[in-house]
């Protein structure tokens, strides 16, 4: 197996920084603004099954569950350290959320398992190849008519954001993001529509919210156009 396909970047790029993740994101990424907005646009209904992909320390996962207590919310992350912190926060919050350790590009779930998948600040951690694989996996595990909701870097909307994005591109996998290619990459995975629903100035560059949909009729069993093997 080609190990370069399994590259993995921890929450703040270096494992030893993970314990600082919550304050850093709160102060640099306008978390208090964009996460509640993302949760609202997810449009959860009672009985929905919702996957928080790359859930990190579970700040968003908890907001999702609180927004719709009658839903079943699952958080998945590849990092055991961050998942331990997520479990602590969920216990403190007193909400019922389950967590799975796993890779976004090889999801441990059957086809058509979820009504909604949310990916906040995850995709820019994945190589181009793994981004595509993760999106195909997301398409596979979504039910027909299900939706994917993303918060991640997008095309810079000001000169300042363009300058900042150059630094972040050097550190993380943001090529498709800052070039504005993500809507096309998402559609390539089989999603029938993508729409940008929000845009924020942050310390690390332009952050956009995206909604994408899986058609009601659904693709066949293999699901997704560039399916994983």
Residues that bind ligand SAM (CB under 6 A): 8-11, 25, 54-56, 59-60, 77-79, 82, 103-105, 120-122, 125-126
Token pair 């090889």 in the structure block, residue: 106
First to last CA, the chain: 12
The CB-of-167 to ligand SAM minimum distance in angstroms stands at 16
The CB-of-59 to ligand SAM minimum distance in angstroms stands at 6
Nearer to ligand SAM, 218 or 228 (CB): 228
Nearer to ligand SAM, 47 or 108 (CB): 108
The CB-of-28 to ligand SAM minimum distance in angstroms stands at 11
Q: If you write DSSP's letter for every residue of 166-209 in order, what string do you get?
A: HHHHHHS--HHHHTT-HHHHHHHTT-SEEEEEEEEEETTEEEEE
What is the sign, positive or negative, of the torsion defined by CA atoms of 124, 128, 133, 136? positive
Nearer to ligand SAM, 119 or 161 (CB): 119
Element (H, E) at 59: helix 59-67
The CB-of-147 to ligand SAM minimum distance in angstroms stands at 17
Q: 122 Cβ partners below 8 Å, 6+ apart?
A: 53, 54, 104, 134, 152
Nearer to ligand SAM, 77 or 223 (CB): 77
The CB-of-97 to ligand SAM minimum distance in angstroms stands at 13
Nearer to ligand SAM, 26 or 179 (CB): 26
């Amino acid at each position: 197996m080609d190990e370069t396909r399994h590259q993995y970047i921890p929450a703040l790029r270096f494992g030893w920084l993970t314990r600082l993740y919550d304050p850093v994101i709160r102060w640099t990424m306008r978390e208090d603004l964009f996460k509640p907005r993302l949760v609202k646009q997810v449009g959860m209904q009672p009985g929905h099954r919702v996957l928080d992909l790359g859930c990190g320390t579970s700040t968003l996962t908890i907001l999702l569950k609180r927004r719709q207590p009658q839903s079943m919310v699952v958080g998945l992350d590849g990092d055991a350290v961050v998942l331990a912190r997520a479990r602590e926060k969920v216990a403190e919050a007193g909400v019922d959320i389950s967590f799975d350790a796993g890779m976004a590009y090889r999801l441990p779930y059957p086809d058509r398992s979820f009504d909604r998948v949310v990916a906040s600040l995850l995709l820019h951690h994945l190589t181009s190849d793994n981004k595509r694989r993760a999106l195909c996996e997301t398409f596979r595990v979504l039910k027909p008519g299900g939706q994917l909701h993303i918060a991640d870097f997008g095309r810079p909307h000001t000169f300042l954001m363009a300058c900042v994005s150059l630094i972040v591109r050097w550190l993380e996998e943001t090529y498709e993001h800052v070039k504005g290619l993500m809507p096309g990459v998402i559609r390539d995975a089989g999603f029938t529509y993508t729409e940008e629903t929000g845009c924020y100035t942050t310390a690390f560059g332009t952050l956009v919210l995206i909604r994408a949909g899986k058609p009601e009729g659904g693709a066949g069993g293999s699901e997704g156009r560039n399916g994983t093997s």
